[in-house]
Amino acid sequence: MMENCLVKLSGDMIPLNPSLLGWVDTLSKEYHLVILVGGGVQINHEFVTRGIPLKEHGPLGRELSSFKERQIARNVLEDNQKKVQDELSAAGIHCTVEIPVIYVGTVLCHVNGDQYILSA
């Protein structure tokens, strides 16, 4: 039975460079690998593009005050998730790619990726 391995991948690492792909490939052969992909810089860019003011981050990361902001952030993270999945698939690397979003009932809740890793 394979052990689990959880890796946090910054959105800044997309597209994946060859050495990172090699490292992930090695891990995926030794472990059941889950990659948690972030996107802070891309979320900031999207907010600025849409005229949404950037706010200070709280102790758990970005604090989003509206459903619209949560949707935008989730969409950016899902886009990063798809990009990473496509790159890994093209390289023949098998693993699961997740984003740091949880649902509490029907409420969409963003969690800072580093805090998500710590809680896992």
Q: Name residue 89's amino acid.
A: S
Do residues 102 and 111 make contact, with C-beta atoms less than 8 angstroms apart?
Answer: yes
CA dist 100 and 7 (Å) reads 12
Domains of the chain: 3-119 (3.40.1160.10)
> What is the value of pTM for the model shown?
0.92
DSSP 107: E
Return per-residue pLDDT of the chain as tens, 120 residues: 789 999 999 999 999 999 999 999 999 999 999 999 999 999 999 999 999 999 888 777 788 889 899 999 999 999 999 999 999 999 999 999 999 998 889 888 888 888 888 888
